[in-house]
């Protein structure tokens, strides 16, 4: 969405003000700063951010709304979801061993994948030189679950119990075939690094629901085996102000670095120091008009409030025995995926807009049975418990949960194939993700792949379409959510057309 952009005002007629003087610096101004400078100091929008959700904040926001044309306000339409929890499986979970059941492959064990099926699709350097492409049927049993009868692997017995709450999408695809560009593409809408992440776009478009916690929080989970690196740019704000970046909570030590006051510094002294810093920043803003000044003021204020809110958030001692048993024994181990799922539910209750949980290690090129079992065990009960917990608290209806990785895995074996052991290479042309809550149809399977699980034959969903759908459920038209940078109206979904997947909507 185009927030008010002074670049689109008529060019100045003042002979002393050339177009160059109003270019990049003015382009980078936020709507908040623009109205603040044109109206009264920090402006009503800045006061709204600092005054929180109380009466004064409401008055400030109402005052701001009078100044902003209706076409520029978010959300664009009534949202189905207020918040989102993204369970990001960094790597490529094997859809053929977890979700995309292909019983006919058992009779084709070790046969070559037909050339007519493989076609001219791009292969990685790890398998492009193989003399054969032997089919590797999954060794795991599948069974129908729930009233929907959706088939789920024996690797996910807990997740199967909530399948009637899930929309399982078997036809996701991407162009990227290697990990780093693929996960960058999935989470920022672009293979090239440096663009804002989806959580940052949501924070930019919708703002805070809670003045005491960040809008966008990131949790990284303990993983098993080898794993690709994670970079902060996957939850960074790119060319947007840093205040829209995800805040990473650590699993060891203080959740956020430097959250505690140094020894000998009491809260009153800390508050007085911040008040002084705020005055200096305000003087800087009035003199220079730097857009980053407001972000700096807000970040100092948020850090001060987090000193009280974060310890309370991380304290699980008041959770009931029933809830802890729902999540299972790993919920008591900080840093596990299950522990992070419970934290995500607590954040959803407290108004965190976007939570992203990463679990690395989904990269089974060989010895898949040995490596996939602990990976699935790490997520199975956590996913089940999160969906169940949100639902019983009345939060699932307006919380969108997304699960998936950056691409899928091949039906053919990489390397040596035996009856009980195989590996799978990267496969971007079809894979499975699931979504739940947030106004989506529950208990459905969307999209189909061919008998080999290699090509999509019905209802393809590109990752751009997935991101458009996520924004749509949050009340955002992906075509209207834009940020002016380098002379372009940048969007999460980019310049290639993307479509909301209406078949997923309730």
Do residue 100 and residue 17 come from a single domain? Answer: no
Contact 235, 246 (CB under 8 A): yes
pLDDT of 300 reads 65
- Check the CA dihedral 35-36-40-43 and report its sign: positive
In a domain, 178, yes or no: yes
Q: How much is the pTM? A: 0.84
Contact 200, 238 (CB under 8 A): yes
In a domain, 277, yes or no: no
Do residue 368 and residue 422 come from a single domain? Answer: yes
* Residue ending a domain, choose from 47, 73, 99: 73
Do residue 60 and residue 92 come from a single domain? Answer: no
Contact 501, 460 (CB under 8 A): no
Distance CA 441, CA 503 (A): 8
Distance CA 289, CA 293 (A): 8
For every residue of 123-167, DSSP letters joined together read: --TTTTT-S--BB----S-EEEETTTTEEEETT-HHHHTTGGGEE
Contact 26, 7 (CB under 8 A): yes
Distance CA 179, CA 228 (A): 8
Give me the domain span that covers residue 31: 1-73
Do residue 61 and residue 98 come from a single domain? Answer: no
User: Which CATH number do you get for residue 454?
Assistant: 3.40.720
Do residue 225 and residue 125 come from a single domain? Answer: yes
Which single residue is written with the structure tokens 């024996």? 154
Closest CA to 141 of 132, 152, 128: 152
In a domain, 265, yes or no: no
Contact 102, 451 (CB under 8 A): yes
Do residue 89 and residue 69 come from a single domain? Answer: no
In a domain, 194, yes or no: yes
Closest CA to 44 of 27, 69, 67, 26: 67
Distance CA 449, CA 431 (A): 9
pLDDT of 30 reads 52
Do residue 369 and residue 491 come from a single domain? Answer: yes
Structure tokens of 142?
Answer: 């599948």
Query: Cα-Cα-Cα-Cα dihedral of 319, 325, 328, 332, to 10°?
Result: 30
In a domain, 279, yes or no: no
* Residue ending a domain, choose from 73, 106, 131: 73
For every residue of 185-251, DSSP letters joined together read: HHHHS-SSS-SPPHHHHHHHHH--S-SSS-SEEEEE----S------GGGG--TTS-GGGSPEEEPS
Q: What is the DSSP letter of 113?
A: P
Contact 487, 239 (CB under 8 A): no
Contact 412, 427 (CB under 8 A): no
Contact 63, 39 (CB under 8 A): no
Q: How far is CA 431 from the centre of its chain?
A: 18
Q: What is the DSSP letter of 362?
A: E
- Residue 301 φ/ψ, nearest 5 degrees: -65, -45
Distance CA 406, CA 412 (A): 19
422 burial via Cβ count (<10 Å: 0-12, 13-18, 19+): buried
* Residue ending a domain, choose from 73, 103, 135: 73
Do residue 38 and residue 114 come from a single domain? Answer: no
Do residue 47 and residue 89 come from a single domain? Answer: no
pLDDT of 252 reads 72
pLDDT in tens, the chain (506 residues): 434 333 333 333 333 333 333 344 445 555 544 444 444 333 434 444 444 444 334 444 444 444 444 445 588 999 999 999 999 999 999 999 999 999 999 999 999 999 999 999 999 999 999 999 999 999 999 999 999 999 999 999 999 999 999 999 999 999 999 999 999 999 999 999 999 999 999 999 999 998 899 999 999 999 877 788 899 999 999 999 888 999 999 877 777 765 666 776 777 776 777 778 777 877 877 777 666 676 666 766 676 677 778 889 999 999 999 999 999 999 999 999 999 999 999 999 999 999 999 999 999 999 999 999 999 999 999 999 999 999 999 999 999 999 999 999 999 999 999 999 999 999 999 999 999 999 999 999 999 999 999 999 999 999 999 999 999 999 999 999 999 999 999 999 999 999 999 999 99
In a domain, 264, yes or no: no
**84: CB partners within 8 A, 6+ apart:** 202, 353, 354, 355, 399, 400, 401, 402, 438, 470, 474
In a domain, 432, yes or no: yes
- Residue 304 φ/ψ, nearest 5 degrees: -65, -45
In a domain, 151, yes or no: yes
Do residue 361 and residue 431 come from a single domain? Answer: yes
pLDDT of 65 reads 42
Distance CA 155, CA 224 (A): 16
Q: Encode burial over 21-44: b for 16+ CB neighbours within 10 A, e otherwise.
A: eeeeebebbbbbbbbbbeeeebbb
Do residue 68 and residue 215 come from a single domain? Answer: no
Q: How many domains does the chain have?
A: 2
Do residue 215 and residue 348 come from a single domain? Answer: yes
Structure tokens of 231?
Answer: 């970079």
């Amino acid at each position: 969405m185009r927030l008010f952009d002074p670049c689109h005002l008529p060019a100045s007629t003042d002979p002393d003000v050339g177009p160059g003087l109003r270019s990049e610096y003015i382009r980078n101004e936020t709507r908040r700063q623009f109205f603040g400078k044109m109206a009264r100091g920090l402006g009503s929008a800045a006061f709204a951010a600092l005054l929180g959700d109380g009466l004064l904040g409401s008055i400030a926001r109402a005052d701001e709304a009078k100044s902003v044309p209706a076409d520029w306000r978010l959300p664009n339409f009534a949202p189905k979801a207020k918040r989102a929890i993204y369970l990001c499986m960094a790597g490529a979970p094997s859809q053929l061993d977890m979700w995309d059941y292909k019983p006919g492959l058992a009779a084709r064990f070790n046969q070559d994948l037909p050339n007519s099926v493989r076609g001219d699709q791009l292969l990685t350097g790890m398998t492009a030189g193989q003399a054969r492409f032997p089919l590797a049927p999954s060794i795991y049993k599948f069974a129908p679950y729930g009233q929907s009868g959706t088939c789920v692997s024996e690797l996910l017995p807990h997740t199967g119990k909530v399948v009637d709450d899930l929309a399982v999408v078997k036809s996701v695809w991407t162009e990227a075939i290697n990990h780093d560009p693929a996960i960058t593409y999935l989470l920022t809408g672009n293979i090239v690094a440096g663009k804002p992440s989806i959580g940052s776009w949501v924070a930019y478009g919708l703002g805070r629901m809670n003045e005491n916690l960040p809008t966008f929080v990131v949790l990284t989970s303990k993983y098993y085996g080898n794993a690709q690196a994670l970079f902060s740019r996957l939850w960074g704000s790119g060319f947007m102000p840093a205040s829209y970046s995800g805040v990473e909570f650590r699993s060891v030590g203080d959740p956020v670095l430097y959250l505690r006051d140094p020894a000998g510094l009491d809260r009153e002294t800390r508050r007085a120091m911040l008040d002084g810093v705020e005055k200096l920043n305000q003087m800087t803003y009035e003199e220079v008009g730097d857009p980053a000044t407001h972000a700096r003021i807000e970040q100092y204020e948020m850090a001060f409030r987090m000193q009280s809110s974060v310890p309370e958030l991380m304290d699980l001692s008041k959770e009931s025995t029933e809830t802890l048993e729902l999540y299972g024994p790993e919920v008591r181990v900080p840093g596990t995926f299950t522990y992070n799922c419970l934290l995500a539910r607590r954040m959803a209750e407290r108004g965190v807009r976007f939570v992203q949980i990463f679990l690395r290690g989904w990269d089974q090129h060989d010895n898949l049975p040995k490596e996939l079992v602990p990976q699935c065990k790490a997520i199975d009960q956590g996913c089940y418990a999160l969906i169940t917990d949100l639902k019983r608290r009345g939060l699932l209806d307006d919380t969108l949960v997304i699960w998936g990785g950056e691409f899928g895995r091949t039906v053919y074996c990489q390397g040596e194939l035996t009856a009980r052991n195989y590996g799978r290479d990267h496969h971007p042309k079809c894979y499975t993700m699931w979504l739940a809550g947030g106004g989506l149809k529950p208990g459905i399977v969307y999209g189909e792949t061919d008998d080999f699980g290699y090509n999509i034959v019905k209802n393809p969903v590109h990752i751009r379409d997935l991101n458009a759908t996520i924004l749509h459920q949050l009340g955002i038209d992906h075509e209207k959510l834009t940020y002016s940078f380098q002379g372009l109206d940048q969007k999460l979904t980019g310049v290639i057309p993307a479509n909301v997947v209406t078949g997923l909507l309730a």
